[in-house]
Amino acid sequence: MKSILPSQSRPNVRFAEVHRAFSCRRFWAIVVKEFIQMRRDRLTFMMMISMPLMQLVLFGYAINSDPRHLPTGVLLADRGPQARTLLHALRNSSYLTFVREFRTEEEARAAIARGTVQFLVHIPESFTRDLLRGQRPAVLLEVDATDPGAVGNAVSAARTLLNRAIERDLQGPLAFPPAGPDPIDLRVHALYNPEGLTRYNIVPGLMGVVLTMTMIMITGLGITRERERGTMENLLSMPARPAEVLIGKIIPYILLGYIQVGLILGAAYGLFQVPMVGSLALLLTAGLVFILAHLAIGITFSTLAKNQLQAVQMAYFFFLPSIMLSGFMFPFRGMPRWAQCIGEVLPLTHFLRIVRGILLKGNGLAAIWRELWPIAVFAAVALVIGVKRYRRTLD
C-alpha cells in the first residue's frame, strides 16, 4: 500500500510567501475553487444565465403597456348607413377589434362579465336620423374598467376614430364645421370601476401573486428540507404511504394559503375599499383549486431541487413569468400572441380574472367556469407529474 503523505526529506512549501498580507497564489486558489463550485451547481448557473434572457424577452418583446386589438362588441339598434360606417371604422382600427354584434342587452352584459369583450358600443335607434339633423347623437361606449390602465388609450382612440369616420362620411352640405363640436356625443361608461382606481385591479390581483410565490416556495422547501437533513429516509422507513406523507404535508400549507387570502381580503375591504360584489364562498373555492395547482408545482420542484436554495430559485423562476405574463403587472391584451399563449397556461392568469370577476363584477360560477377549468387541468397535470417524480426519488 502506498503512503498518502509526501516524503519528509525536503521542504515543499514556499515559506517566503506564507506571511504576506496578500498573496496572489492564495487569492487565485480561492478564485479557482469558486469557479469549480459554480460549475458543479449547474442549476444555479443555468438560472443565472436564463434569468436575464427571460427578462430581456419578457420586457423587450412580450410586454407592452399600450394594448391594442381589444375585443369590442356592438349593440346595433340602428341599421342606417352611418351606423354601418361606425362598424366599419371599428373593424379597421388597431385599438379596438370588432368581434361580434349582440342581439340583446343580456347577451352583451354576459359577454362583458365573462371578459370575452372589453368594450361595448351601443348605437341608439335614432342614430342616423339625429346625425343627419346635426343633433349630435349620443353613442354609449361601455368599458370593462377592472384594469383601468389597459383601456385608457383605447378609449381616447375610440373617440377620435368614430368621429373621424363620421366626418369622412358626411361630406358636402352635410359636413360638420371643422372647428365645431364632434359630430357624435360619445359617452364613456366605465363599468365595475367607474373612478378608474388602479387599486381595484391591483389589490385583488395581489391575492393570486402572493399565493403563487409562497405556495410553491413553502412546499418546495418543506420536502427538500426533509431530504437535505436525511429525515426523509427515516420517514420512508416507517410504514407511511407516499399519499399519506404528501397530503399530510400539504394540509398545513393549504391552511396557510387561506390565512393569506383572508389577510388580503381583509385589507382590500378595510384599507382599500375594494368593492366585493360576488360570492366569497365561490372565491374561496376557486382559491382552493389555485392553491392546489401551486402546491403540485412545489412538489414537482422539490423532486428536482437538490437543496433548499435550489427550491427557492425554482420558485422564483416560475414566479417571474407568472407575474409578468398573467396580466398582473402589464395588460394581458397588450402582449403578442405567443406571450398570451404562455400566459393562458399559467394558473395566475386565470385566477386574476376569477378574482376580479367575482369581486368587481359579481360573477357567478357560470361566468368564471371558463377560467376555472384551465387551473383545474393545470393542477391535475402538475400533481400527476409531481407524485410520479416523488415516487421515483424513493428508489
Q: How far is the CB of 258 from another protein (least distance, A)?
A: 24
Q: How far is the CB of 1 from another protein (least distance, A)?
A: 8
9 interacts with another protein by CB under 8 A: no
Query: Is the CB of 17 or the CB of 233 nearer to another protein?
Result: 233
Size of the site for another protein (CB under 8 A): 13
Query: Is the CB of 205 or the CB of 222 nearer to another protein?
Result: 222
| Segment 365 to 394, residues that bind another protein, using CB under 8 A | 394
Query: Is the CB of 194 or the CB of 252 nearer to another protein?
Result: 252
| Segment 183 to 212, residues that bind another protein, using CB under 8 A | none
Query: Is the CB of 179 or the CB of 394 nearer to another protein?
Result: 394
Query: Is the CB of 173 or the CB of 230 nearer to another protein?
Result: 230
Q: How far is the CB of 8 from another protein (least distance, A)?
A: 12
Q: How many other CB atoms are found less than 10 A from the CB of residue 97?
A: 18
Query: Is the CB of 232 or the CB of 309 nearer to another protein?
Result: 232
Q: How far is the CB of 36 from another protein (least distance, A)?
A: 23
Query: Is the CB of 118 or the CB of 308 nearer to another protein?
Result: 308
| Segment 222 to 261, residues that bind another protein, using CB under 8 A | 229-231, 233-234, 236-241
Q: How far apart are CA 296 and CA 304, in angstroms?
A: 13
Q: How far is the CB of 203 from another protein (least distance, A)?
A: 35
Residue 227 gets the label, from left (phi > 0), alpha (psi -120 to 50) or beta, of alpha
Q: What are phi and psi of 183, to 5 degrees?
A: -65, -35
Biggest alpha carbon–alpha carbon distance for the chain: 115
Q: How far is the CB of 238 from another protein (least distance, A)?
A: 4
Q: How far apart are CA 199 and CA 193, in angstroms?
A: 10
Q: How far is the CB of 240 from another protein (least distance, A)?
A: 6
Query: Is the CB of 168 or the CB of 229 nearer to another protein?
Result: 229
Q: How far is the CB of 234 from another protein (least distance, A)?
A: 4
Residues in touch with another protein (CB under 8 A):
229-231, 233-234, 236-241, 394-395
